[in-house]
Every structure is written in C-alpha cells, then in structure tokens.
Structure 1
Amino acid sequence: MDSRFWWQIFLAFAMAPAGARSQSTDAIGFLSIDCGLEPGSSYVDPLTNISYVSDVGFIDTGVNRNISVAYMVDVRARRYLTLRAFPNGTRNCYTIRSSAVARGSKYLLRAWFFYGNYDGLSGQPQSFHLHLGVNYWDRVNVTTAESSYRTEIIAVATAGYSV
C-alpha cells in the first residue's frame, strides 16, 4: 500500500469508562470527535443528541476538507460533511489527553469513515491501516465515494493521563 494514499476520512471516539468524568467528555462520559470540524467548533447532533468537538486539540497533522457538494444532499449526519485528510507521512496520530483516561480502564473506541469524493478523484479507493498505539486495529477500505466504513474496539488503557 502506497503511504501517499493513507487518508483519514472521519474519526470519532466514544470513551465510556465507568464513573470517569472530565471537561472534554459529555455528561455520560463520552468524547466524540468530528475530524475536520472547524477549530474551536462543537455541536450536538439533533438525531442522536451526541455532542461533538473539533479534532484540532487531538492532532497536529493533516488538512481539513469538505465532502463534495454532490454528496452533501444524501448525508444525514453532520459528522460526515467534513473530514481530515493526511496526504503526507506514514503515520498520523490522535492523542487523547484527558483526565478521563485511567490506566487499566477499558474504553470503547469507534471510528467512522466516509470519502464523499472530497478530493475530486471520483471514488478512487481509499485504503489504510488503523493502529492503537503500536498494535494493529483494522484495515479501512472505502471503495466508493458514497460508501462508509465503521469499526470499533474495546481497548485497555496502558497509561493514564493527569492534569
């Protein structure tokens, strides 16, 4: 796989440790990140009532993009309208620095990917690997501009974070 085509289409984390709370999580302990959302922006999805924040505080590589106007009509969820693409580098990492991350705790991580022809290449297959730390998680393969991909994992935090 050619590293120039490792594109991150969309990512959201759902972090739900028992009893953990932090300023960056919502009232029930979830952190949902909308990749590509304007820096400093946040919103509540009216269908799911899930609060989303921009990914700017979690990564310092990549570029924000909008999906093609042709695909905006069919998109029901706001989280699919923007994305973060990674045209450079072989690894681009998100870092969660939250007092809600406790060593040894289990976390549910979910990621959604949608291409939406953001680059005008009309559905050139997008394929890349996801890793959690050094461990392989999944291979994302979005084959058409209108297809999406979802993956999830339950992970144990190997380190905590304190403020």
Structure 2
Amino acid sequence: MTRGYGFTYLPIDCGGLIRNVAIYNSYELWQTDKDFIKTGENIVLPTTHTLFQMNTLRYFPKGHKNCYGLPLQDAYMKFLFRAGFYYGNYDCLSKPPSFRLGIDGNIWADVTTSMSEEMIYYELLYITKKSRVSVCLIRTMDSDVPFISSLEAYYIYDAYNWMDNTTALYLHGRINYGANTSVK
C-alpha cells in the first residue's frame, strides 16, 4: 500500500518471478524484488514450502555488499523491517552461509543460516532517516554467498513513542506464553 510517493507497506518475495497474493489475516500483494535491486541471481528452490515467498531466493555470488533500495513513505517514520531466510540447500553444497545484514550503513544482524526446514527471521523496529532505505547483505567470508528469501517493511503507526531518531529495536526473541498454537 502506498501513500504519496513511497510505500507504507512493502512485502517483497526475493527471487520471485511474479507478484503473488497471499491471504493470511488479510489481503497481501507480495512484490517481486526486480524493482528494488539490480544485482544477484534468482533461483526457485526444488522443494515446495508452505509459504510461497520461501520457495524462491536471491543470492549474491559477486560483490562484497549488495543492497536493496526501498522507497518508503517519508523520512523519520517508524517501520518494522523483517528479513526472511530459507536456505533449502539451493546450491547443493549442504553448507549454509553466514553473512551480515545492514540497514542504512549500520549493522543490523549477523545472519547464520542452517540446513533446518525452519525459516530464519530477523526483525528491526527502525526510524527511517530518508524516504529511501538501504538494506544490504554483506559478505563476511569469501566462501559464503549471502542470500535472502523475503524482505518486508511495515509502517508502525503511533507505537513506541519513546523512541527517538537514534534508537532502533532489534528482536532478540519471541516467547509464546500460553497460546494453544504457535504463531509465526
């Protein structure tokens, strides 16, 4: 969804070839990443995952740093950023890589992927400095090739009012206290 010139809600299926619609609690139109990055290569995984955005990925065999440019609504707005990773042994090497995730020139997370069937997510609540946000995958070892399966940006309206422009909140963990089912 957009207001003005940039997005307030931007779910991206990294490596996806067509825009997809997912219906969870509401209608969601997942964009392909072709308009947000010019580097890397797309691949469709040989296995079918229940979340369609995890069936594709974009990997970056060249370069030290590869960045997505996200055109968001405006500067100084709070956004929840969520990056998803599902290795799926796409390269047939059985060696899940490790690399860094950055946002606007700052380190967001050290990403460690695995052979597990579980997706790995990194979340960050961040106040944008400009209307265009840079989310980068940064190679830390020559033998490891960074990849990404999904990237999401959601405007957070009127939440965490005590945050200032120099604060970011990183999700350390999420605990289910009594729900009957798991929530992802």
For the aligned pair, the TM-score class normalised by the smaller chain equals: 0.7 to 0.9
* Residues 23 and 47 of structure 1: CA distance in aligned 2, closer, same or farther (over 3 Å): farther
Q: Which of 53, 73, 77 is 1:105 aligned to? A: 77
State the identity %: 33
AA partner of residue 106 (structure 1): K
Q: Which amino acid aligns with 1:157?
A: T
Runs of 4 or more consecutive aligned structure 1 residues displaced over 6 Å after TM superposition: none
Query: What is the alpha-carbon distance in structure 2 between the residues aligned to residue 115 and residue 23 of structure 1?
Result: 34
Tell me the number of residue pairs that the alignment of Structure 1 and Structure 2 aligns: 131
27, 50, 56: which is aligned to 1:82?
56
**In the alignment, is residue 54 of structure 1 matched against residue 28 of structure 2?**
no
SS in structure 2 at match of 1:118: coil
8 Å CA contact retained: 1:108, 1:155: yes
How far 1:157 moved relative to its partner?
1.1
TM-score when normalising by structure 2: 0.65
- Mark the runs of 5 or more structure 1 residues left unpaired by the alignment: 1-15
Query: Is 1:43 matched with 2:13?
Result: no
Contact 2:89 2:96 in 1 (8 A): no
> How far apart are residue 104 of structure 1 and its match?
1.1
- Structure 2 residue 70 is matched with structure 1 residue 119: no
Name the structure 2 match of 1:141: 112
Q: Which residue of 2 aligns with 1:65?
A: 43
SS for the counterpart of 2:3 is: coil
Residue by residue over 1:90-117, the C-alpha shift from the partner in whole angstroms, topping out at 9 and shown as x without a partner, is 100000124x1x1111111011100111
User: Who is 2:170 aligned against?
Assistant: none
The alignment status of 1:32 with 2:32, answered yes or no, reads no
**Equivalent AA in structure 1 for residue 105 of structure 2:** V
- Give the number of the structure whose residues are more often helix, by fraction: 1
Structure 2: segments with no counterpart, 5+ residues:
133-184
- Alignment-mate amino acid for residue 130 of structure 2: A
Give the Cα separation in 1 of the matches to 2:116 and 2:34. 25
Distance 1:50 1:139, change over 3 A: same
Cα RMSD after superposing both structures: 2.0
Residue of structure 1 in register with 2:125 after alignment: 154
Q: Which amino acid aligns with 1:142?
A: T
Distance 1:105 1:23 in 2: 14
Return the TM-score normalized by structure 1.
0.73
**What is the identity, as a one-letter code, of the residue corresponding to 1:153?**
L
